[in-house]
Amino acid sequence: MLANGGLSKLLFNVVSGKMVLPNKESPEYLTTIGLLDIRRDLDNRIKHEDPRYISALAVMASKSAYENKEHIKETVETHWKMEFLEFFDCWNDYEEDNTTQGFMWSGKNGDFELIGVCFRGTSPFNAKDLSSDVDLSWYKLPGIGKVHAGFLKALGLQKSQGWPKDIQLDDKKPYAYYAIREKLRKRLENNPNAKFLLTGHSLGGALSVVFPAILAYHDETNLLSKLEGVYTFGQPKVGDHKFGEYIGL
C-alpha cells in the first residue's frame, strides 16, 4: 500500500493498471506487523547512560526482526547509526527448512561495544513458525530441566545428534545456535571490553532465553561472562520449574 501512495492512490492505480507490486526484498517493504508501527529511529531522548537505553534498543530490534534483511540492514546503519553484522536464516532439522531468522548488530560508545542478537518472533501467516509454538513436547537437558522441544528444534536440536557441543558448520544448513555462537566468539575475541545482549518478541523471546541455557549446558563460561542481559517481549513459557530455577526466573 505504501508503494502505491496510500489507499486512495492504490485504488486509482488498480483501475488504471499502474499498481506497483511490492518487492519483498526491498528495504522499503514492510510486513503486516511492520505496518502496525512504521518507526525505525531510536528515541533520541534516551541516551547511552540512561538505564532505559538497552531495553528501548531491544524493543526496536524485536520489532525490526520481522522485516527482511535489507530493511533491517538499512534500519541499523542509517537510522541507528550502528554496524550491521549479519542476518541469520537458519535450518530446522525437524521442519526440514530454514525457519529461524535473526540478526546481529554492534553499537559502540567510547571503548565499550554492545553486540545485539535478536531472534525473529512468530510470523502470523507462517505455518512452520506456528508449528514451533504449538509443539507441546518436552526435551530434558540434564542438570537444567525440561525445555519446550519446539523452541529447541528452532534453535538447532538435531535428529541424529541432539545437542553436541561442537559440530561441523554447514553454510547451506546453518543451525541458529551454532552459527550465532561462532559469530559471537569471533566478535568478542576482537574486543575484550565488549558485551552482548539477547532479545526477541514471542518465539524470538523464547529463543533468547533458551540460547544462554544451551551455552550453560555446553560450559561456555567465557561467552556467558560477556552476556549483558536478556530482554524478551511477549515470551511464552519455555521450560519447567527446574529450568526456571536454573536460569534464575
- Judge whether residue 126 has pLDDT over 70: no
Closest alpha carbon to 175 in 150, 161, 156: 156
Beta strand spans in the chain (E): 83-92, 97-109, 112-119, 138-141, 145-148, 195-201, 227-233
pLDDT at position 155 is 97
pLDDT at position 27 is 82
Hunting for cell 512452520 — which residue is that? 128
User: Is 200 within 8 Å of 120 (Cβ atoms)?
Assistant: yes
* 130 confidence band (pLDDT: 50, 70, 90): low
pLDDT at position 4 is 54
For the chain, what are the domain ranges? 1-30, 41-247
pLDDT tens sequence across 137-181: 899 999 999 999 999 999 999 998 889 999 998 889 999 999 999
Query: Which long-range contacts does 186-189 make (Cβ < 8 Å, 24+ apart)?
Result: 187/85, 187/104, 187/106, 187/115, 188/115, 188/223, 188/226
**What is the arithmetic mean of pLDDT over 101-113?**
94
Give the predicted TM-score (pTM) of the model: 0.87
Q: Among 3.90.1510.10, 3.40.1410.10, 3.40.50.1820, 3.10.20.30, what is the CATH number of 41-247?
A: 3.40.50.1820
pLDDT tens sequence across 177-232: 999 999 999 999 989 889 999 999 999 999 999 999 999 999 999 999 999 999 99
Residue 45: phi and psi, rounded to 5, are: -85, -15
pLDDT tens sequence across 7-38: 566 555 656 666 566 788 788 888 888 888 89
Count CB atoms within 10 A of the CB of residue 148: 24
